[in-house]
Amino acid sequence: MADATDAADNLSEFSVSELSAALKRSVEDRFGHVRLRAEISGFKRAASGHCYLSLKDDRAVIDGVMWKGIAAGLRFLPEDGMEVICTGKVTTYPARSKYQIVIDHMAPAGIGALLAQLEERRKQLAAEGLFAPERKRALPYLPDVIGIVTSPTGAVIRDILHRLDDRFPRQVLLWPVLVQGEQAASQITAAINGFNALPPGGDIPRPDLLIVARGGGSIEDLWAFNEEAVVRAAAASGIPLISAVGHETDTTLIDYASDRRAPTPTAAAEIAVPVRRELQTQLLDLERRRLGALGRNLEERRARLVSAARGLPRLGEILGLPRQRLDAVGDRLPRALMVNIRHGDARLSRLTPRIRPDMIRERVALRRRDVDEWSRRLAEAQSRRLITERQNLTGLGKLLGSLSYRGVLARGFAVIRDADSKPLHRAADAHPSMPVSIEFQDGRKTAVIEPGNTATASTKPSRAQDRSNAAAKKNPQGELF
């Protein structure tokens, strides 16, 4: 133990910075200039113009950086999934204890496996018409309810809510989903279909607009939004949909199928709603312009009226000539009336000899003969109608008499009724001590049913009843007719 302690005490002492510098020199001396064949992942361009990315194969990954001058000289646009050949110097980044390659030359080596698969799927779905411009719907100008499909824990939902609150607060429904991993595609598909399945006017309001959002990442991180199920759900959505996946340089297949693509989730919120303050300002400006235009119109009409009034002649000048004409006509009116009366008298004198009393008497006599003829015809028609109706009435009376039960009573039959005046049809309906009424042809009598099915009348039997009893003895079954 003493030897190990003495050996440790004899080691040189380094600071962290000295050790990092020594490692940096060792790596740069050993790998001063290397050539790599790898696939790009997580490519992004900073505001300064420098490019940062990762180079990977199936087992390892190394960070890369390309300075602004080298990046400006590239003849192609690097994309995630693209296979490239890079030449550069391997170095370390002491601030994060990472090693990286500083790229001074990059050339494409062919489309990577993921990028080739993505391009093949894009062509297949495009051939089916899912990306056709005529399928895209117009976004509502001011949606009442906005449905958001994204992760509930990321910065994306906070950025969208913050931007909506700044521009025009709206009711937001969040459908939480995974935005990365094996289950992400199925959850995103279910969220889009679930929002579309909400009935209008239900307990949960149906969104007027959908936003599918996610932050930036590598092509692998964004792969869920390239899945066929997600793309088909976005294309079939009956609710207008905005895709806001990744950063401005990231492109996924859902961007082609959506009705509108936003470069960032924040931009999606800006596309979804207008700025309320700008609308208020615009309304105030329109109101000001309306009032100004109304005032200018009134002033213009007032000026035109004043100008027209100046060009009009005076009232006396306008009415002078008509007054003179009226005076002249008034002077001629009495003479014209007298002339008209004389003409009327002359015409009446000419017509008087043609009006003779005998001619009037002839016309009156002719009209009187016509009236007499019409009266005679009417009386004959009424007489014939009365005779016909009397005959019909007589026939109906005879038919009524033949059908009436009183004709049966006249042949010696009788009708027995109970206390409610209902006829008794069977002997079983007559109970002992039951009051009944017996209707004969010439009137009714009351009786009481005695035990033994014999009835005692309250009065002496009539002759018709005696004849009925005698007939019953001769013919026990009776005779109706």
Q: What's residue 77's pLDDT?
A: 73
Say yes or no: 175 and 266 in one domain. Answer: yes
Say yes or no: 73 and 174 in one domain. Answer: no
351 — pLDDT class (breaks 50, 70, 90): confident
In a domain, 216, yes or no: yes
In a domain, 102, yes or no: yes
Residue 460 predicted with pLDDT over 70 = no
Say yes or no: 156 and 269 in one domain. Answer: yes
* Average pLDDT of the residues of the chain: 84
Domain count of the chain? 3
In a domain, 124, yes or no: no
Residue-wise pLDDT tens digits, 135-146: 999 999 999 999
Question: Which segment of 49-58, 234-243, 416-425 scores lowest on mean pLDDT?
Answer: 416-425
Which CATH number covers residue 50? 2.40.50.140
Mean pLDDT score, 154-177: 94
Mean pLDDT score, 124-134: 93
56 — pLDDT class (breaks 50, 70, 90): very high
Say yes or no: 179 and 56 in one domain. Answer: no
Q: What's residue 94's pLDDT?
A: 77
Nearby residues of 175 by Cβ (< 8 Å), 6 or more positions away? 147, 148, 149, 191, 194, 195
Q: What is the DSSP string of 275-314?
A: -HHHHHHHHHHHHHHHHHHHHHHHHHHHHHHHHHHHHSPP
332 — pLDDT class (breaks 50, 70, 90): confident
Cα separations in angstroms, 175 against 20, 44, 186, 197, 392 = 47, 29, 13, 13, 90
Q: What's residue 427's pLDDT?
A: 81
Q: Between 465 and 382, whose confidence is greater?
A: 382
Q: What's residue 472's pLDDT?
A: 47
Q: Between 342 and 462, whose confidence is greater?
A: 342
Say yes or no: 96 and 180 in one domain. Answer: no
Say yes or no: 101 and 179 in one domain. Answer: no
**Percent of the chain predicted with pLDDT > 70:** 89
Considering 111, 127, 159, which residue would you say is the last residue of a domain? 111
In a domain, 308, yes or no: no
Q: Between 438 and 318, whose confidence is greater?
A: 438
Residue-wise pLDDT tens digits, 264-312: 999 999 999 999 998 999 999 999 999 999 999 999 999 998 888 887 7
Q: What's residue 110's pLDDT?
A: 60
Say yes or no: 169 and 75 in one domain. Answer: no
Report which of 85, 74, 87, 83 is spatially closest to residue 110, judged by C-alpha positions: 83
In a domain, 309, yes or no: no
Q: What are phi and psi of 203, to 5 degrees?
A: -65, -40
Residue-wise pLDDT tens digits, 80-119: 888 888 999 888 877 777 888 999 998 877 656 667 778 8
In a domain, 176, yes or no: yes
**Domain, as residue range, for 56:** 14-111
Mean pLDDT score, 222-236: 93
Nearby residues of 350 by Cβ (< 8 Å), 6 or more positions away? none
Question: Which segment of 191-200, 412-421, 465-474 scores lowest on mean pLDDT?
Answer: 465-474
476 — pLDDT class (breaks 50, 70, 90): very low
Listed ranges 212-221, 261-270, 461-470; the one with the highest mean pLDDT: 261-270
Considering 277, 305, 323, which residue would you say is the last residue of a domain? 277
In a domain, 223, yes or no: yes
Say yes or no: 160 and 94 in one domain. Answer: no
Residue 395 predicted with pLDDT over 60 = yes
247 — pLDDT class (breaks 50, 70, 90): confident
Q: What's residue 307's pLDDT?
A: 86
207 — pLDDT class (breaks 50, 70, 90): very high
Say yes or no: 175 and 63 in one domain. Answer: no
CA dist 80 and 40 (Å) reads: 5
Q: Report helix angle 184-197 to 228-236, nearest 10.
A: 10
Q: What's residue 480's pLDDT?
A: 38
Question: Which segment of 51-55, 181-185, 243-247, 268-272 scores lowest on mean pLDDT?
Answer: 181-185
Considering 59, 87, 111, which residue would you say is the last residue of a domain? 111
Mean pLDDT score, 116-143: 91
130 — pLDDT class (breaks 50, 70, 90): very high
Cα separations in angstroms, 292 against 104, 201, 280, 283, 286 = 65, 43, 18, 14, 10
Q: What's residue 413's pLDDT?
A: 79
CA dist 27 and 341 (Å) reads: 140
**Percent of the chain predicted with pLDDT > 90:** 43
Q: What's residue 473's pLDDT?
A: 47
Say yes or no: 188 and 272 in one domain. Answer: yes
Say yes or no: 150 and 273 in one domain. Answer: yes
Question: Which segment of 111-125, 226-240, 328-342, 400-414 scores lowest on mean pLDDT?
Answer: 400-414
In a domain, 383, yes or no: no
Q: What's residue 398's pLDDT?
A: 83
Question: Which segment of 61-70, 168-177, 226-235, 442-451 scores lowest on mean pLDDT?
Answer: 442-451
